[in-house]
Amino acid sequence: MFEKLTESPLAQLIRRNSWGDYDLLMTRLDRWEHSGIFYSALENLDRAALFESAVHGEGHIERVMLLGALLAMMEEESGENMALLMEMCSYHDTGRVSDWLDEFHGSRSCFKLGALTGRSGEELKMEMAGVEAHSRKDSDMDAVIAKYEPADIERAKKLALLLKDADGLDRVRIGDLDPRFMRTEAAKQLTEFSEYLFKAYSAMQEELGQEPVRRDLVDRKIMEQMRDHVQESYFGHDYNCAHTMLTALAQFFETDLSPQLINAAQGMHGAGKFGAQCGLVEGTLMFLGVYYMDRGYDRYEVEKICNHFAQSFTAKYKSLECRELRPGGFNDDDPPHLCAGLTLDAILFAREFIIQKNTELRNLGKE
């Protein structure tokens, strides 16, 4: 099996068949009556059609396919649903143009499905509905599915939920897996396996002489994207530091921001250039409120997280004050956006703070 897939880390992991604590789970998958659908999908995956990226590229797709197969098995899905789900897992990100938050990449991806899968009629409707819905908010799912008018709306919704969970489980690669956001009971049972899979996949990549999907390599890609974000935000649109920080974190953590919230950031760059609290701090604090309140934390818990961030920021940068952090302070002949370098560093610092905080909360049983 997989004789032609010598460069596929997942194929090699399956061939080796050594899964540690998860041997029983993978043996169960291998013996499942529909496992052949997964193996065939992996072997026949059109890799040239996939988005090229360390974050959303071939590695992500292979892991999502395996996670999707396990979910289908645990949810006792039919062979017909399994076949559709494998195709949805395979091509759900083909419409991506970047690794940033893009709620419409599912819509662009779904219009490629017919050519990639050969599906038509009701089956194609269900695949398109699920792939578009995967990049939209859960609250939009019913409307997205209804738009395609599938004959069996409940079946289409189940497939969409399974795709969302398979995709969500691989958020371990960016340090942002929140088990509470899993929609199916099966997905909640696979959170630890997804961590194991990511590490095993990365190790196999190294063994094959490939660039492993390590956090530091993902971080490098993210740093390049955030550098572009800062450049565009400052010198393309003349946005302030609070706006730039707020939108950068929202992009990375795929969090929706209301127009009112973005508008509220417009005077938060040292209190309208007064030199008070730094906009990089204020933008982060605004984001922490949205991000953690959305995840069910109460205002007192969010207050503690914000306090911890302020302490951490002060320890690294020695101040929270704009007049002290800004290079050279404020002068009449200053060029625009002197803080561009500091901004990039602070964005990466805030991002890492959130990732570490999520790990801490998860270990305490709060994530």
Instruction: Tell which residue, 311, 312, 338, has the closest CA to residue 325.
Output: 338
Whether the CB-CB separation of 131 and 148 falls below 8 Å is answered with: no
CATH class of 9-207: mainly alpha
Burial class (CB in 10 A: 0-12, 13-18, 19+), 359: middle
Instruction: Say if residue 217's pLDDT is above 60.
Output: no
Burial class (CB in 10 A: 0-12, 13-18, 19+), 17: exposed
Confidence of residue 98 (pLDDT cuts 50, 70, 90): confident
- Which of 28-42, 213-227, 228-242, 314-328 has maximum average pLDDT? 28-42
Q: By percentage, how much of the chain surpasses pLDDT 90?
A: 58
Distance of CA 51 to the CA centre of its chain: 15
Please give the pLDDT value at position 331: 60
Q: By percentage, how much of the chain surpasses pLDDT 70?
A: 91
Please give the pLDDT value at position 360: 87
What the block records as the tokens of 328 is 């050279």
Q: Is this model's pTM higher than 0.75 or not?
A: no
Whether the CB-CB separation of 71 and 116 falls below 8 Å is answered with: no
Sign of the torsion angle spanned by Cα atoms 339, 353, 56, 257 = negative
Mean pLDDT of 77-88: 98
Instruction: Say if residue 218's pLDDT is above 70.
Output: no
Residue 277 has φ and ψ, to the nearest 5°, of -55, 135
Alpha-helical segments (H) within the chain: 9-16, 23-31, 35-43, 58-74, 79-91, 105-110, 113-117, 121-134, 141-148, 153-169, 185-189, 191-207, 215-231, 241-252, 259-264, 270-273, 279-294, 299-317, 322-325, 340-363
Mean pLDDT (the chain) is 89
Mean pLDDT of 289-306: 93
Characterize 302-320 residue by residue with b for buried, 16 or more Cβ atoms within 10 angstroms of its Cβ, and e for exposed: beebbeebeebbeeebeeb
Instruction: Say if residue 219's pLDDT is above 70.
Output: no
Convert the pLDDT of each residue in 331-344 to its tens digit.
666 566 777 878 88
Whether the CB-CB separation of 50 and 93 falls below 8 Å is answered with: yes
Convert the pLDDT of each residue in 3-52 to its tens digit.
788 889 999 999 999 999 999 999 999 999 999 999 999 999 999 999 98
Q: Parse the chain into domains and list their residue ranges.
A: 9-207, 215-363
Q: What is the DSSP letter of 33?
A: T
Convert the pLDDT of each residue in 119-150 to its tens digit.
999 999 999 999 999 998 888 999 999 999 99
Please give the pLDDT value at position 145: 97
**Using CA atoms, how far apart are residues 242 and 271, in angstroms rounded to an integer?**
10
